[in-house]
Amino acid sequence: MRDHNELKKIANSMRKNIVQMIHDSKSGHPGGSLSAVEILTALYFDEMNVDPQNPKKEDRDRFVLSKGHAAPVLYAALAEKGYFSKEELFKLRKTGAMLQGHPDMKGTPGVEMSTGSLGQGFSAACGMAMASKMDNAPWRVYALLGDGEVQEGLIWEAAMSAAHYKLDNLVAFLDYNGLQIDGKNEDVMNINPIVDKFKAFGWNVIEIDGHDFDQIFAALDSAKETVGQPTMVIAKTVKGKGVSFMENEAGWHGTAPSDEDLANALKELGGEM
């Protein structure tokens, strides 16, 4: 696609659906869902080889949401792409509903891995990339990590493994919005120098503005040209992006918007659903 105007429309629709579904469920994680919208829009509506009509086709690219609590952004992308009806979004977290608080690969079309326990999704993505290599398959693997998530030791075991096995078919994005549930990364557990750390582990590291489609696509193109190394895209983002009163506020990590908050958010995003 790479029609940026169309991609921006899709991203805006996803943001509306994110705040609406979390409001309706009275539970969820808006901040880190809104910060990753452009990344998932670029992946699902341009980069990845996927087919919502045939979600299990063998040569599909795989995406793993390692920061599983940001499930609303994945659900918004899947619904927008046509994997299931958008009506499902507004049953989020309801008993018996398809879409639960964290992604479920057994119950949701398009979800490649059940995630939520931080670090495990990234490890699974590395395993998928290794499987693709072993089969000499053409499909690639993409993952999204949270910046608070990289405080988990499991992340670094997976990072070491991916570099050791030269998984150049793996591209991970770090949603680097600087905030986690307890506040700033640097106050909770400083992750820096994060670029140098992934480079030291043998990764091809690219730094971008995670809300700029040109930079996202340039990183993806560069990753495809990189041989013998997995790629980590350090995407500087804004937690709560697109809703002014949620932006850069750690309190919106896991808080559902009230009726008034929803009305104000939708107004900022261009009107009601």
**pLDDT, one tens digit for every residue, the chain (273 residues):** 688 999 999 999 999 999 999 999 999 999 999 999 999 999 999 999 999 999 999 999 999 999 999 999 999 999 999 999 999 999 999 999 999 999 999 999 999 999 999 999 999 999 999 999 999 999 999 999 999 999 999 999 999 999 999 999 999 999 999 999 999 999 999 999 999 999 999 999 999 999 999 999 999 999 999 999 999 999 999 999 999 999 999 999 999 999 999 999 999 999 765
Please name the helix (run of DSSP H) or strand (run of DSSP E) that holds residue 140, with its range, or none.
Answer: none
d(CA 86, CA 91): 10
Q: How many domains does the chain have?
A: 1
pTM check: above 0.85? yes
Alpha-carbon torsion 118, 205, 194, 45, what sign? Answer: negative
Which range of residues forms the domain containing residue 214? 4-268
The enclosing domain of 261 has a CATH number of 3.40.50.970
Contact 180, 147 (CB under 8 A): yes
273 within domain boundaries: no
Cα three-residue angle 3-9-13, rounded to 5 degrees? 145
Helix, strand, coil percent content, the chain, rounded in steps of 5: 45, 10, 40
27: left (phi over 0), alpha (psi -120 to 50) or beta: beta
108 within domain boundaries: yes
